[in-house]
Structure 1
Amino acid sequence: MATAEETDAPAAYEELLDQYERLTYVGGASGVLSWDQQVMMPAGGAPARSKQLSALSAIHHELLTDDDVGEWLDELDDADLTPEQEAVVREIRRQYERADAVPVELVEEISETSSEALQVWEDAKAEDDFSAFAPYLEDLVELKREYAEHIDPDADPYEVLFADYEPYLDLDTAERVLTRLRDELVPLIDELNDADADLAQPFDGTYPEDAQEALSRDVLAKVDYDFERGRLDTSSHPFTSGNQFDTRITTRFDESDPLGALMSTVHEYGHAQYNLGVPQDEYGNPLGESRDLTVHESQSRLWENHIGRSRAFYDLVLDDLKEHFDGIDDATVEDVYEAANQIYPENRIRVEADELTYHMHIILRFEIERDLISGDLDVEDVPEVWNEKMEEYLGVTPDTDAEGCLQDIHWSHGNFGYFPTYSLGSVLAAQLYASADEDIDDLDAKVAAGDFDALHDWLGENVHQHGKRYTTPDLVEEATGEPYTADYFLDYAESKFRDLYDL
């Protein structure tokens, strides 16, 4: 594959690349500070850290919106560029036009407010005190409305924010997919919930955190996580951060739910493999960056659900489970597979949700944040509306705001528009996995044997190596030969869960 840099590239293109490399490095430094804030920084460091991140955010913004960037882009309008160079210019132009519309003072204020809000959210969640977080949420809603208005005053502000995370699948597509998932999964969930299924429950004890962490590390080694370019830590909310040279993942542990931590680890591993798989020689330009969040989430959900919740995976790791956890000596592959895939509509926590009801958690958040941004919902009413929607969609009401509207980190970052990409990515994961399964001989047997080379190669060739060369719809067609569709996910869900519940 050709690279971004070509010897005969116009001078304006080379200047543009140099500038973009610098802002990439500043963004990377900001990412490391943010990782540290969530993993290692003492709580008292928050005031200084918010200033540091704000300063880096401003420098990044200034580099991107420099007058020279606009001039170089203008010069390249009619330039004779390779397809790879055209993709680089397309991606930088899009970022430049959005960033140039937003005053740097607003960028700094959003960064500083969200950095302060993170620590407040951590404390509010721990103390079950939504009122402590509410003023920061109000500020972030107002700031992001203002941000959206600067970018496109005539557009739906939520649509503008959504495009920060998924610029090439439009909001109408997202809403159609979410509506279809709700309409087709809710009846299936109800049917499964009413089934007289006697599924195995081999994990009914207490499983120490150190044993769970040791298992996570063993499993990461089995799926070929490169610890020379990554690390595993704990955080209140699991996440992945980094680039093709250094990508770090976090997980969290519940001593009563050992599979929850394992699935979280495998999920974040999928994100990490994508980051680590983009071309190293393109670091600093869009061809060395992952595509946006729908594609990123497809990688994590593919590994979590299509690998990590498969029978073949438990063929591979059953002995590891028995080595690290007491009381499951008699458990079989089928027992663990059933435990990993049961549905729990009564569950209130998104990151602990089963594969099907998970999407109801996403729809709930999508509807609330859309109404917050539009002004149809006041921040003070979020806990009540959250609980009402939980009851409507899942038949449960959170006992506390800590397990309700305070459970997720996203709003403390001001990340409105992020949540839909989780479901969009799950849908894409099924489409990609179906294509990989068709191309790779006996993929299940390879998973059971711990041979992931063919899958790594397939994902690398069809997704990772392209960076941002293609838009999301084009990348999906390149990888699978078909447009983006929810058909594969819904077929997969029907087949898997009807088989599991013997329906």
Structure 2
Amino acid sequence: MATEAAADDVSDAPEAYDALLDRVRRWNTVGSAAGVLGWDQQVMMPEGGTPARSKQLSALSSIRHDMVTDEETGALLDELDDADLSAERAAVVREVRREYERADAVPVELVEEISETSSEALQAWEQARAEDDFEHFAPYLEKHVELKREYAEHIDPDRDPYEVLFEDFEPCLSMERAESILDELRETLVPMIDAIRESDADLAVDTFEGTFPAETQEELARDALDLVGYDFDRGRLDVSSHPFTSGNQFDCRITTRFDEADPLGAIGSTIHEYGHAQYNLGLPQDEWGTPLGESRDLSVHESQSRLWENHVGRSRAFWEQFLPAFHERFPETEDATVEDAYEAFNQVHEDNLIRVEADELTYHLHIIVRFEIERDLIRGDLAIEDVPEVWNDKYEEYLGIRPPTDADGCLQDIHWSHGNFGYFPTYSLGSVMAAQLFEAADGEIDDLEDKIAAGDFEDLQAWLGENVHQHGSRYETNELVKRATGEDFSADAFTDYVEAKYGELYGI
């Protein structure tokens, strides 16, 4: 990999390339500053700060948009059309051109309005969720839907607006491909979950029942991060209403949340966010601010978090190493065995309403519900006021449960408050990709399971760094996966993995 990259750098870039790269670094620096303000709003900002913060973020969004769409950006890209560029530099131009063409199609006034609405909607969502009051959030959701329809129409008025929005988060895979994978997951998982519910397997699901103070859970979460190797010199762990990761290769911060009745949930979300952070922290430092120093969009990003959460954190091997730390923090669990922890962490829930607390299988049905609803909202096939009822109906149809409140239903996730329509399919795409990447890593790393059981994650981190992180956005999604695994991106590894794992657990 390193030899190939070095060879690419032999050709000299024209002056236009250097000028373009300078512009890209500057506008990404502005975007990075906005990211810190966004993190602060969700973690540290006093509740009364929203009016000023919405203006601050709107201004930075407008400044960045103006820099991206400036005439000079277009002129430099035109000058580079026929330039003899190395493969790496051609990839940079490809990524910048995609961003420029989409941004140039959207009026700056609309960009500002979307940004300001997002800040206001975030506070409204937090209040609505806390008070179980969808009607309080509904006007903000309606405004976001209208603004994002307008946004999509500016980019391409002749295409499905939801497909246009999906490309903001996954520009390298078609909507058709994403939907086919979601269909394959539904066809695989629904009968599997039905079989699990009908099985008489006696899993140790009561092992970690009780009350586990949040303060001690946070200490345990830090133990988990220390074990997997999170770099606290370049990161932080904080608490937020919805776990997330924010930052870059120099400063990448994660958040989690704690439920005093569910210590395993906090461990899962913490390791999940660690996977996101490890990806960011593993990007090339000397390419900061350029596409070569940026992650390859959200499906790949989610593959990193789901790989660490599911293929590492939910494994027997991980709990062989981590269970003693759990016993130390919560001595009342000292009788729990590794097998108990493995079964408790991998049980398939019959009544879980919350996506971020869902098991590995029903998780995807949560994704499908929101995907179908937001797609219909954007296409104009669903009215805002009907969202709670449709949400509850779909949960009853797909998961066999009906949310008793909107706080546990359509208000549970933060994404609509940001106007992030098209984001949700990447969660399932990332889970599928995680299985394919982990299968390849397991095939190349000797005794990977034994190394995880010994608390040795260096080889896995190195494999991911070499095959995913170091490339930034050089390769498009399928090519990145194919280079790492030798196969095109598909759901085969995921379906094989869940059928083997849950077949053993539940005897199906």
- Shorter-normalised TM range: over 0.9
Counterpart residue number, 2:131: 127
Supply the distance in 2 between the matched residues of 1:112 and 1:333 (Cα, whole angstroms): 49
Counterpart residue number, 1:77: 81
Q: How does 1:151-300 map to 2 (within 5 A)?
A: 151-200=155-204, 201-300=206-305
Report runs of 4+ in structure 1 exceeding 2 Å deviation: 1-8
Q: Deviations over 1:136-160 (max 9, x none)?
A: 0000000000000000011100000
Q: Deviations over 1:425-467 (max 9, x none)?
A: 0000000000000000010000000111100110000000000
Secondary structure of the corresponding residue to residue 246 of structure 2: strand
Matched AA of 2:331: D
Pairwise CA distance, 1:6: 7.1
Supply the distance in 2 between the matched residues of 1:256 and 1:392 (Cα, whole angstroms): 28
Secondary structure of the corresponding residue to residue 68 of structure 1: helix
Supply the distance in 1 between the matched residues of 2:103 and 2:28 (Cα, whole angstroms): 14
Residues 340 and 464 (structure 1 numbering): CA distance in 2 closer, same or farther, change over 3 Å?
same
Supply the distance in 1 between the matched residues of 2:23 and 2:374 (Cα, whole angstroms): 35
Q: Deviations over 1:451-491 (max 9, x none)?
A: 11100110000000000000001101111010001010001
Cα contact 1:240–1:271 (8 A) shared by 2 = yes
Counterpart residue number, 2:343: 338
Instruction: Give aligned-pair identity as a percent.
Output: 70
Supply the distance in 2 between the matched residues of 1:399 and 1:264 (Cα, whole angstroms): 24
Pairwise CA distance, 1:223: 0.5
Supply the distance in 2 between the matched residues of 1:329 and 1:92 (Cα, whole angstroms): 54
Cα contact 1:88–1:287 (8 A) shared by 2 = yes
Q: Are 2:130 and 1:137 aligned?
A: no
Matched AA of 1:202: T
Counterpart residue number, 1:498: 503
Counterpart residue number, 2:434: 429
- Normalised by the length of structure 2, the TM-score is 0.98
Supply the distance in 2 between the matched residues of 1:269 and 1:459 (Cα, whole angstroms): 14
Pairwise CA distance, 1:284: 1.2
Secondary structure of the corresponding residue to residue 254 of structure 1: coil
Q: Are 2:353 and 1:348 aligned?
A: yes
Matched AA of 2:91: A
Pairwise CA distance, 1:345: 2.9
Cα contact 2:9–2:86 (8 A) shared by 1 = no
Matched AA of 1:204: E
Residues 6 and 88 (structure 1 numbering): CA distance in 2 closer, same or farther, change over 3 Å?
farther
Pairwise CA distance, 1:64: 0.3
Supply the distance in 2 between the matched residues of 1:32 and 1:246 (Cα, whole angstroms): 10
Matched AA of 1:30: A
Cα contact 1:205–1:327 (8 A) shared by 2 = no
Pairwise CA distance, 1:327: 1.5
Supply the distance in 1 between the matched residues of 2:47 and 2:175 (Cα, whole angstroms): 37
Matched AA of 1:365: R
Counterpart residue number, 2:52: 48
Q: Deviations over 1:294-347 (max 9, x none)?
A: 000000000000000000000010100101113211110000000000000310
1:472 to 477, 482, 486: 477
Pairwise CA distance, 1:5: 7.6
Cα contact 1:88–1:469 (8 A) shared by 2 = yes
Counterpart residue number, 2:151: 147
Supply the distance in 1 between the matched residues of 2:101 and 2:155 (Cα, whole angstroms): 8
Pairwise CA distance, 1:417: 0.2
Matched AA of 2:19: E
Supply the distance in 1 between the matched residues of 2:11 and 2:131 (Cα, whole angstroms): 59
Pairwise CA distance, 1:98: 0.2
Q: Are 2:451 and 1:443 aligned?
A: no
- Normalised by the length of structure 1, the TM-score is 0.99
Q: Runs of 5+ in structure 1 lacking a partner? A: none
Matched AA of 1:231: R
Q: How does 1:352-367 map to 2 (within 5 A)?
A: 352-367=357-372
Pairwise CA distance, 1:8: 2.2
Supply the distance in 1 between the matched residues of 2:244 and 2:311 (Cα, whole angstroms): 20
Secondary structure of the corresponding residue to residue 347 of structure 1: coil
Cα contact 2:293–2:473 (8 A) shared by 1 = yes
Cα contact 1:296–1:425 (8 A) shared by 2 = yes
Supply the distance in 2 between the matched residues of 1:467 and 1:194 (Cα, whole angstroms): 45
Pairwise CA distance, 1:502: 2.4
Matched AA of 2:143: D
Supply the distance in 2 between the matched residues of 1:383 and 1:326 (Cα, whole angstroms): 42
Secondary structure of the corresponding residue to residue 234 of structure 2: coil
Counterpart residue number, 1:100: 104
Pairwise CA distance, 1:185: 0.5
1:413 to 398, 404, 418: 418
Pairwise CA distance, 1:197: 1.3
Supply the distance in 2 between the matched residues of 1:198 and 1:478 (Cα, whole angstroms): 42
Cα contact 2:249–2:281 (8 A) shared by 1 = yes
2:489 to 484, 491, 495: 484
Supply the distance in 2 between the matched residues of 1:471 and 1:336 (Cα, whole angstroms): 38
Secondary structure of the corresponding residue to residue 255 of structure 2: strand
Name whichever of 193-202 and 21-30 sits farther off: 193-202
Matched AA of 1:236: S
Counterpart residue number, 2:32: 28
Supply the distance in 2 between the matched residues of 1:133 and 1:502 (Cα, whole angstroms): 44
Pairwise CA distance, 1:7: 7.8
Supply the distance in 1 between the matched residues of 2:464 and 2:221 (Cα, whole angstroms): 22
Counterpart residue number, 2:395: 390
Matched AA of 2:225: L
Supply the distance in 2 between the matched residues of 1:14 and 1:120 (Cα, whole angstroms): 43
Q: Deviations over 1:213-265 (max 9, x none)?
A: 00110110110100000000000000000000000000000000000000000
Q: How many residues align?
A: 503
Pairwise CA distance, 1:501: 1.1
Matched AA of 2:468: V
1:114 to 118, 134, 141: 118
Supply the distance in 1 between the matched residues of 2:102 and 2:286 (Cα, whole angstroms): 27
Supply the distance in 2 between the matched residues of 1:12 and 1:80 (Cα, whole angstroms): 12
Secondary structure of the corresponding residue to residue 261 of structure 2: coil
